[in-house]
């Protein structure tokens, strides 16, 4: 009797999981189909390189793409070295108690879940006003760096702590210094997890709008330096959809470009992780 009940329970759970998975998949497919159906016919080379006209109703997204790339470059340049370095410091150099480690990890998890608009307000006060950077690409990139930093630190820390005890025992038996073991053994082994966390964090930054409204600004002209204001692609889509009558066509086309960039970054993640894992395994 108990065996029959277990089989019925397993079948019910399997059916429930299939229904939930199919519903989520159907939702994603329908969303992508809607965006591609309305936006793909309007995507062209001129759309990618021309400047916006009539508040974005016509023209292209050339300056928008340049601003987005610059913002992401600033974000990566600050967040990746600081995040990986902080994770290495917490993992290899600072030996806290178990309670302290749980507190640090919990704090990072809380920061990872803070709404992006809160980071936007922080960036507006600290970078734009206190540091005097104003509405600029630099302010937007630094704000995004603060937003993704907890994720990079957490994933890098988990990757470093995931190194097997046998490898660490071998390092100790060889008498390697902490820095030598970190750069030549531990980081190469942890690179797949670190790379995945970094690229996925950057992918989140690419689709960010709330944090950039208060830091990088709305200006849709071609930026000449990092101190210029620049409109990110996500903000451009929001503005066309909500504030510009007749901007739906270019909003859908911009969404197609954004999805293509996100898919490209996800593909890049898988390729980098595969290549790095193979090299690490060979070494």
Angle between helices 137-161 and 116-123 (to 10 degrees): 130
Asked if 276 and 195 count as a contact pair (C-beta separation under 8 A), the reply is yes
Quick one: pLDDT at residue 269? 62
pLDDT 10s per residue in the chain (283 long)?
466 777 777 778 888 889 998 899 999 889 888 888 888 888 888 888 888 888 778 888 888 988 888 898 898 889 888 888 888 888 877 776 667 777 777 777 788 778 888 888 999 999 999 988 889 999 999 999 999 888 888 888 888 887 777 887 777 777 777 777 777 778 878 877 787 787 778 777 877 888 888 898 888 888 888 888 888 888 888 888 888 888 888 889 888 988 888 777 767 766 765 665 555 444 4
Quick one: pLDDT at residue 125? 92
Fold that domain 45-282 belongs to in CATH? MetI-like fold (1.10.3720)
Strand partners, 53: 58
- Domain parsing of the chain, residue ranges: 2-42, 45-282
Asked if 283 and 188 count as a contact pair (C-beta separation under 8 A), the reply is yes
Quick one: pLDDT at residue 139? 92
Whole-angstrom CA distances from 132 to 7, 171, 220 are 66, 47, 21
φ, ψ of residue 246 to 5 degrees: the values are 80, 10
Quick one: pLDDT at residue 2? 65
Quick one: pLDDT at residue 92? 78
Q: CA 173 to CA 92: how far, in whole Å? A: 16
Residue owning tokens 């939702």: 27
Q: Supply 14's token pair.
A: 């399997």
Asked if 137 and 226 count as a contact pair (C-beta separation under 8 A), the reply is yes
Asked if 127 and 143 count as a contact pair (C-beta separation under 8 A), the reply is yes
């Amino acid at each position: 009797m108990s065996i029959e009940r277990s089989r019925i329970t397993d079948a019910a759970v399997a059916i429930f999981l299939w229904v939930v998975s199919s519903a989520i998949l159907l939702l994603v497919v329908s969303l992508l189909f809607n965006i591609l159906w309305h936006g793909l016919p309007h995507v062209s080379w001129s759309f990618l390189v021309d400047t916006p006209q009539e508040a974005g109703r016509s023209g292209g997204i050339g300056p928008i793409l340049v601003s987005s790339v610059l913002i992401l470059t600033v974000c990566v340049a600050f967040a990746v070295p600081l995040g990986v370095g902080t994770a290495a410091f917490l993992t290899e150099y600072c030996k806290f108690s178990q309670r302290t480690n749980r507190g640090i990890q919990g704090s990072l998890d809380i920061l990872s879940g803070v709404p992006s608009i809160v980071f936007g307000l922080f960036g507006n006060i600290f970078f734009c006003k206190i540091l005097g950077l104003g509405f600029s690409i630099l302010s937007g990139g630094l704000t995004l760096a603060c937003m993704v930093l907890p994720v990079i630190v957490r994933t890098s820390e988990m990757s470093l702590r995931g190194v097997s005890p046998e490898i660490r025992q071998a390092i100790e038996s060889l008498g390697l210094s902490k820095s030598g073991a970190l750069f030549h053994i531990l980081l190469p082994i942890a690179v797949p997890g670190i790379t995945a966390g970094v690229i996925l964090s950057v992918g989140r930054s690419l689709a960010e709008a709330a944090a950039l409204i208060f830091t990088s600004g709305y200006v849709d002209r071609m930026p000449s330096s990092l101190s210029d204001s620049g409109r990110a692609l996500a903000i451009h889509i929001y503005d066309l959809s909500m504030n510009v009558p007749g901007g739906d066509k270019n909003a859908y086309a911009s969404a197609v470009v954004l999805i293509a960039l996100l898919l490209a970054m996800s593909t890049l993640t898988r390729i980098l992780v595969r290549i790095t894992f193979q090299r690490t395994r060979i070494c």
